[in-house]
Structure 1
Amino acid sequence: MATTRLADLTWPDLERRRPLVLLPLGSCEQHGPHLPLDTDTAVACAVTERAATRLDDDGPDLVVAPPLTYGASGEHEGFPGTVSIGHDALRLLITEIGRSLLRWAGRLLVVNGHGGNLLGLADAVTGLRGESRDAAWWPCVPPGTDAHAGRTETSMMLRLRAPAVRPDRAVAGPTEPLHLLMDRLVAESVRGVSPSGVLGDPAGAGGSEGERLLEHMADRLAADIGAWTVSEQGRLGAWPTGRSVRRPVTARSGEGS
């Protein structure tokens, strides 16, 4: 069944409805020399629309809003093409969108494709919930994911938009787990740690693997929407073991991981 998109509706289409609105949130930031700048947005949109299709028949009344294509990407500003609005602006943007949208919608779920958005996003959603508005957020985190522009994201983009991927430019970056790189990322930002902008290794990426990762996330998102259990931080569903909302990796105000 086709997904209902907010951009395609007129106001009478929404009268006497109190839908759950799904809002994909991404970024415009470098993803190595081989992936497009809108990688996070593309993944968030794909997961959102796939999950919405799963729930169309017997789930809640759903509407998918146009995506937000800019986020808090200050740690990537050492690379051309990155456009970061910082955490303060992101927090305000989500807050005001939520306040306006929830005048007519019943619930808001922000589906986040960029981990660096989490600080501002979680603050905004918990603020909305403190105003008795039913808002939540959900992270696109596939199982076994690498840090940035490695095999995971390359596989997903080969599935979603292969012509935009430049495999001949793909290079490996540092492959240590993110927590082992965190001190250097705080001190040097991403470019100081990885001149290519890659944290991980794209080798072995493939569209079939990307499809499996996207399907897994869509299944998980659909299940979490059905259960609608929201944590104190506004997160829909439960974090994988050991995950938490991180503080920014850069010291400059309004920027972060």
Structure 2
Amino acid sequence: MLSFAELTSPQVAGLLTATRRPVLLLPVGAIEPHGPHAPLSTDQMISIDVCERVAKRLADHPSVRALVLPPLPYGVTRYASAFPGAVHVSEETLHALVTDVCGSLTSQGFTEIVVVNNHFEPEHVTTLRRATKDAGVRYLDLVRRQNAARLTAEFQSGSCHAGQYETSLVLASRPDLVDQEQMAALDPLRVDMPSAMANGQADFVAMGMDQAYCGSPAAATAEEGERTYAVLVDMVLELIGEV
């Protein structure tokens, strides 16, 4: 069993006395538009899939047992507010959710928690960095230079919202949720999101993303998604201390 929430209370108690040390994985994402082709839940879906793949990799590990916590689906999501479907929570709300959830678990003795996030709005990332530090848990910080350098060229370019990088990951896990006809019709759109943000542009439309995407979604493939998942899983295993 890979899901923490599917255990009974006595089974959870047994985790703390078992020979295999428990590691809990908390997927975090956002509900926001990802172009006309990918689901609102793209970020959350990627985080969940990374966590589930990590738990499967460790299923037969002799000394570590990884379990996936119920995801936190909502994030700081102001940039997509011009489009239907964006669900925003404040920095204060997100910080409280992460620290309260992690604090509830650490107080029971579950001291090894890894927060896995795939929504990269700057205020969201900053809040997660602060919340995980305050909670004393680990955080997979993909926008740190040493981590970003291991991911795809599109991810490193910063022009990657609902583009080839994210769409490939969704194709690898839930191809049924990608409108592949729409995807194939989208032209590449180069938007340097980090520079735009630094210049004070705080929404997708101002950045020139009038369909809530940038990058090259038509170039996405499930094969690229699988390769990227393998790298993301390795990063989490390294945080846990098991490669």
**Shorter-normalised TM range:** 0.7 to 0.9
Contact 2:138/2:239 (8 A) holds in 1: no
Q: Which amino acid aligns with 1:53?
A: K
Matched residues in 2 for 1:59 and 1:71: separation? 33
Matched residues in 2 for 1:59 and 1:24: separation? 22
**Match of residue 166 from structure 2:** 153
| Cα-Cα RMSD | 2.0
* Deviations 1:12-44 (CA, angstroms, capped at 9, x unpaired): 002143322111011100101110000001100
Matched residues in 2 for 1:122 and 1:66: separation? 20
**Match of residue 232 from structure 2:** 217
**Match of residue 152 from structure 2:** 143
> Number of aligned pairs?
220
Match of 2:117 among 112, 115, 118: 112
Range 12-21 or range 110-119, more displaced: 12-21
Gaps of 5+ in 1: 130-134, 229-257
SS of the equivalent of 2:31 reads coil
Contact 1:23/1:68 (8 A) holds in 2: yes
**What's the CA shift for 1:73?**
0.9
SS of the equivalent of 1:79 reads coil
TM-score normalised by length of structure 2? 0.83
Indicate whether 1:165 and 2:169 are aligned: no
Identity %: 30
Matched residues in 1 for 2:227 and 2:201: separation? 36
**Match of residue 241 from structure 1:** none
**Match of residue 23 from structure 2:** 20
Matched residues in 1 for 2:36 and 2:226: separation? 22
Contact 2:35/2:211 (8 A) holds in 1: yes
* Deviations 1:186-241 (CA, angstroms, capped at 9, x unpaired): 3351122211111212122111111111112112221221169xxxxxxxxxxxxx
**Match of residue 128 from structure 1:** 135
* Structure 1 outlier segments of 4+, above 6 Å: none
Matched residues in 2 for 1:53 and 1:44: separation? 14
TM-score normalised by length of structure 1? 0.79
* Deviations 1:124-169 (CA, angstroms, capped at 9, x unpaired): 111123xxxxx11113563322420001111111111111111222
Structure 1 residues 173 and 191: CA distance shift in structure 2, 3 A: farther
Which structure ranks higher in relative contact order (CA pairs < 8 Å, sequence separation ≥ 6)?
A: 1
* Deviations 1:84-128 (CA, angstroms, capped at 9, x unpaired): 112111011111111111122122211111112211111111112
Contact 2:2/2:52 (8 A) holds in 1: no
